[in-house]
Structure 1
Amino acid sequence: MFARPHDRPPRPTPALLPGDERPSRIDPAKLDDWTGGWVAQLAAPSAERMGAGAEQILWDVSTGSQARTAPNPKVAWTVVQRGPVRLWDRVERTVRRWQVADEPHQEKFGMTVSAVGQRVWLGTEDGPGWGLPI
């Protein structure tokens, strides 16, 4: 049986506001890779991603947090973040963990679902993992 298709709830147009700027520790274009984008979503499950290549935007409507990246000839890429959740910090940690593991495909990940929560893990259940909202 097919699920009934529906649009996402209406949301306001994002206003890219000033914030804290620093060099990015990862290439933002890694999020364009199918698995790289999926791994980034594990780090910020409630954020929406817009953009491509060096110019990525993450926006969490529920918290108002946002992060945006841009090319910078001096440091490769910069990121500007604002809000209570440092979205790009979370994405960087998760993507770097995936890179250290030699960027495995999604088939190398697993998921455990229990009465206390959901967790996606890499390699084995006790390997690196990410708790998901329930």
Structure 2
Amino acid sequence: MHDTTRRLRRLGLSAASLALAALLAAPATALADNAMRFDGTWSVRTSAETGSCGKNYDFKLNVKGGKVTYAGYWPVNAAGGISKVGIVKMTLSHNGGKVVATGLAEGDQASGDWSSPEPNCSGSWFAKRA
């Protein structure tokens, strides 16, 4: 093994150790605040780009503690949420249909892609905190 490779591995381990130590040393309130930074009601607009899922749909989602729930009147099950760094991963299901959405939230806006295996369609989405 080359000297450079060994040094890089040691540096990587040191960086990981420092990051873990910083996380453990962070005050609990700062972590809690960070987890709730995306809390609120979000207005979502989806656009279908492939398949036969229709064109656009508008709906609202609630986020609390990073967890997402559907805020409409249809019986939609929402699972997943937004991580403290803004990574969006969620699943919405209704009447046997399922949509998987991923993306990124930043400030009061979020966007990403979605897909549905049945019917086979996909598209993009955009959300703004209401």
Please confirm whether the aligned pair reaches a TM-score higher than 0.5, indicating the same fold.
no
Query: Which is richer in strand?
Result: 2
TM-score normalised by the chain length of structure 2: 0.29
Q: Which has the larger radius of gyration?
A: 2
TM-score normalised by the chain length of structure 1: 0.28
